[in-house]
Structure 1
Amino acid sequence: MDLLNIEGIGEALDLLELCWQFRPVRVLMAGHQLGIFEMLRTPQTAAQVAKQCGTDPSMTERLLIACCALGVVQRDKGKFVLTKLGRDLLLPESPRYIGGILGHYENLWWFWTGLTEVVRTGKRESAPPAPKEFADKWHEFWIWAMHGIAANGVGQWLASNLDLSDRKLLLDVGGGPGTYSIILCQRFPNLRAVVWDLPRTLAIAEEVIKRFGMQGRITLQVGDWNKDEFGTGYDCLLMSNILHGHGSQAAMKLAKAFRALEPGGLLIVHDFLLNDEKTGPLPAALFNLMVGAYSVQELMAIIEETGFKDVRLVAYLPKRGSGLITATKP
């Protein structure tokens, strides 16, 4: 084989680069878990950070150099400090804090570590368990992760692709921290919203809604979709990331959504979606491996079978593998 003149070198380099992508997120997870980022509100040397965090000075400096390369830390005259991006994402007081994401990723890390056995056995419990301090807080990390994701690009994308200027009352089913409702209400002054979820989740949503001063326009409703109806009287309804493939009981949830909407009501579905050939894109394919995902046409067909009309894919975000589908109740 002539190694000098070989086809597909560019694609091979891209794939090899993907194989290394566990490293950057592990850097952020380590810095977060060790409390390093909170030490960098003001400029510090690596030795000062190490002393305060109880870490090795040499490895601490190496970690900080990696954080500089990631754009969340900057170095000036031998001292390190958070960049604006670092302050926005890595300090707990920031409204865009991603600490929940990094905690959630620690739990996910162990699933992916055990993927070989999960595929071999077909049982998720074949993966090694996450450390207890993370496993015990999985729900809290998960809901705060949903906030971090929505607040850092996905929610803004969703709102920019919808026109709810003539809508008055949104039901956010399985709304988690309520971040999508907050962004939609901020964009559309006429809109009020109800976040519908389990009590444990709504305790976090209440905190998030208060943080953004939206208590006057967003209320909370306790519900369990396995046994409760969604209510009635809504002219728009959001189902974000709750229709994850064939195990998600999508038909049941959509039927309840249909009953909750007034005639002419708008259904908004946001979820990971595979292409119709089920060959990608990569973010949706990876999510499908871990949880499940429909193809675009599969989910649109289920929505139509429920009785909705004018079902259409209005936007797609390849970087996330997320699609935005709307439909109308006749």
Structure 2
Amino acid sequence: MRRYRDKALNTGYLFFYSKALATAARLGVFDYIGTGSKSLKELAAAMGTSEHGLELLLDAMVGMGYLSKKGNNYSNTRCGREVFLKGKDLYIGDILRFHATMWEGWNNLEQSVRTGKPARLHNMFQDDKEETRTFIMAMHNTAMGHAERLASLMDLSGDKTLLDIGGGPATYSIFFCKANPRLRATVLDLPGTLEVTKDVVSRFKMSRRITLQEGDYNKDLPKGFDAAFLSHIIHSEGGEANIGLMKRIYDALNPGGKIIIQDFILKSDKTQPSFASAFALCMLLFTEKGRTYSFEEIKGWLEAAGFKSVKWLRRALPRDISIVTAFRS
């Protein structure tokens, strides 16, 4: 009983840590420190903060293991230089800043639970260019954590064309193409998103192998592909919309083509994995009908669309992400 009680109390306090980390990212703490060592006075002057408030935040970051402190000087840790400094492959600053953007929505969770309506419809964050860039680069940050591993797990060696539906920053397409020299990918997404995608694809020198195509996956899909990839899309849509999407993907594939769905997929009772069931609340806050789904639900949509050999692949990916694959007959 005591352990259960302590767990509940500790869960209640976890926002201390997440909000402190997001604030440090938004203020640029890690970038101001850089690869060297800076004093509190130097940092407060450069960042335009009070020394008192900044000292408390910096010490909290040290306590959480995200900064080092020697005397009155602060520095990034060895790992921190890889994940908190802009330009690094494993950088997560964009997703941390995006978390701060989502904070207001989560403050309205009680109201959304009462009404069943979202706190804010995000429209894929297309209304403001800066917000669009933050969102898409946040998705790039999270994808970089396992895109290379996923590309090694999926067999696309016999495929020449891939349709990345709602592909955002194209991170997965980039690594699928790197792992499969014969593969060419088409990333379908909204115009505002593709402005950001273009920069990411160019940075990885993949512009000749990855085509960007404006479109809305809820309307039409281009045809003639050997494989289709659907990453973190179904949780933004309701069940009926997803059934329609699976049918459009079936029609977009060549005979024998495969679909790869990546998402937070629930077990049949829809309570586990715990991140997946908690993420459903995020969809309540930011979409009209979105939520996370069980494998049985996804399998039903695929089979209704005509897909065969539906499989659920669980490969120890971050946040209990898992994969569903199926084939067009």
TM-score (norm 2): 0.88
In structure 1, the residue matched to 2:187 is 195
**SS in structure 2 of the partner of residue 274 of structure 1:** coil
Which structure has more relative contact order (CA 8 Å, sep 6+)? It is 2
Answer whether contact 2:306 2:328 (CA < 8 A) is retained. Answer: yes
Cα shift readout 1:168-188 (whole Å, capped 9, x = no counterpart): 211100000001111222222
Answer whether contact 2:230 2:261 (CA < 8 A) is retained. Answer: yes
Aligned counterpart in structure 2 of residue 16 of structure 1, from 9, 23, 48:
9
In structure 2, the residue matched to 1:106 is 100
Tell me the amino acid that sits aligned with residue 176 of structure 1.
Answer: G
Are 1:261 and 2:260 counterparts?
A: no
**SS in structure 1 of the partner of residue 7 of structure 2:** helix
In structure 1, the residue matched to 2:294 is 295
Are 1:32 and 2:25 counterparts?
A: yes
The 1:215–1:198 alpha-carbon spacing in structure 2 relative to 1, beyond 3 Å, is: same
Answer whether contact 2:68 2:77 (CA < 8 A) is retained. Answer: yes
Deviates more, 1:89-98 or 1:296-305: 89-98
Cα displacement (A) at 1:53: 0.9
Q: Percent identity?
A: 35
Aligned counterpart in structure 2 of residue 237 of structure 1, from 207, 211, 228:
228
Are 1:85 and 2:79 counterparts?
A: yes
Aligned counterpart in structure 2 of residue 251 of structure 1, from 243, 253, 262:
243
Aligned counterpart in structure 1 of residue 141 of structure 2, from 139, 148, 157:
148
1: CA distance between counterparts of 2:210 and 2:61?
A: 37
Cα displacement (A) at 1:272: 1.6
Cα shift readout 1:117-159 (whole Å, capped 9, x = no counterpart): 221222323x7x9xxxx98843322211110100123x24422
2: CA distance between counterparts of 1:91 and 1:181?
A: 24
Deviates more, 1:143-152 or 1:31-40: 31-40
**SS in structure 1 of the partner of residue 168 of structure 2:** coil
Deviates more, 1:143-152 or 1:156-165: 156-165
Answer whether contact 2:23 2:100 (CA < 8 A) is retained. Answer: no
Cα displacement (A) at 1:97: 2.7
The 1:44–1:118 alpha-carbon spacing in structure 2 relative to 1, beyond 3 Å, is: same
Answer whether contact 2:129 2:192 (CA < 8 A) is retained. Answer: no
2: CA distance between counterparts of 1:214 and 1:277?
A: 42
**SS in structure 1 of the partner of residue 162 of structure 2:** strand
**SS in structure 1 of the partner of residue 145 of structure 2:** helix
Task: Give the alignment of 1:38-53 within 5 angstroms.
Answer: 38-41=31-34, 42-53=36-47
Cα displacement (A) at 1:285: 0.8
2: CA distance between counterparts of 1:233 and 1:122?
A: 39
The 1:9–1:168 alpha-carbon spacing in structure 2 relative to 1, beyond 3 Å, is: farther
In structure 2, the residue matched to 1:58 is 52
1: CA distance between counterparts of 2:44 and 2:106?
A: 30
Answer whether contact 1:274 1:321 (CA < 8 A) is retained. Answer: no
1: CA distance between counterparts of 2:298 and 2:252?
A: 19
Answer whether contact 1:161 1:314 (CA < 8 A) is retained. Answer: no
Tell me the amino acid that sits aligned with residue 38 of structure 1.
Answer: D
Task: Give the alignment of 1:263-278 within 5 angstroms.
Answer: 263-278=255-270
Cα shift readout 1:181-209 (whole Å, capped 9, x = no counterpart): 11222222332211111111111111011
2: CA distance between counterparts of 1:136 and 1:11?
A: 45
**SS in structure 2 of the partner of residue 91 of structure 1:** coil
Which ranges in structure 1 are unaligned for 5 or more consecutive residues?
A: 1-7
Answer whether contact 1:232 1:260 (CA < 8 A) is retained. Answer: yes
Answer whether contact 1:72 1:82 (CA < 8 A) is retained. Answer: yes
Answer whether contact 2:67 2:80 (CA < 8 A) is retained. Answer: yes
Aligned counterpart in structure 1 of residue 111 of structure 2, from 110, 117, 129:
117
Answer whether contact 1:254 1:306 (CA < 8 A) is retained. Answer: yes
- CA-based RMSD: 2.2
Answer whether contact 1:246 1:293 (CA < 8 A) is retained. Answer: no
The 1:235–1:121 alpha-carbon spacing in structure 2 relative to 1, beyond 3 Å, is: same
**SS in structure 2 of the partner of residue 328 of structure 1:** strand
2: CA distance between counterparts of 1:143 and 1:255?
A: 27
Cα displacement (A) at 1:324: 0.2
Which ranges in structure 2 are unaligned for 5 or more consecutive residues?
A: 284-290
Answer whether contact 1:283 1:319 (CA < 8 A) is retained. Answer: no
Cα shift readout 1:206-235 (whole Å, capped 9, x = no counterpart): 10111111112212111112332x212211
**SS in structure 2 of the partner of residue 118 of structure 1:** helix
